[in-house]
Amino acid sequence: MKRLTALVSGNVQKVGYRARVAQTANALGLKGFVENLADGKVRIIAEGEEERLRWFEEAINIKNTLIQVSSIERTYSDATGELSRFYKAVDAGETDSRLDQGIELLKEIIITISEGNRDLHSAISEGNHDLGGTIKEGNRDLRSAISEGNRNLCDAINEMNHDLGNAISEGNRDLGGKMDTMIETQRDTLNEVRDARRDLRDYMDQRFEKIEIELSEMKAILKSKGLI
C-alpha–C-alpha distance, residues 204 and 197, integer Å: 10
Name the packing angle between helices 50-59 and 17-27 (round to 10°). 150
Active site residue 18: yes
- CA-based nearest residue to 51, from 101, 2, 89, 100: 2
Give the sheet arrangement for strand 68-78, strand by strand: 68-78, 2-11, 42-48, 31-36, 86-88
C-alpha–C-alpha distance, residues 228 and 222, integer Å: 6
**Annotated active-site residue in 11, 18, 158, 172:** 18
101-133 burial string, b = 16+ CB within 10 Å, else e?
eeeeeeeeeeeeeeeeeeeeeeeeeeeeeeeee
91: left (phi over 0), alpha (psi -120 to 50) or beta: beta
- CA-based nearest residue to 10, from 75, 63, 76: 63
**Annotated active-site residue in 36, 54, 85, 117:** 36
- CA-based nearest residue to 21, from 56, 71, 66, 70: 56
Q: Are 79 and 3 in contact (CB under 8 A)?
A: yes
Q: Are 70 and 25 in contact (CB under 8 A)?
A: no
As annotated, the active-site residues are 18, 36
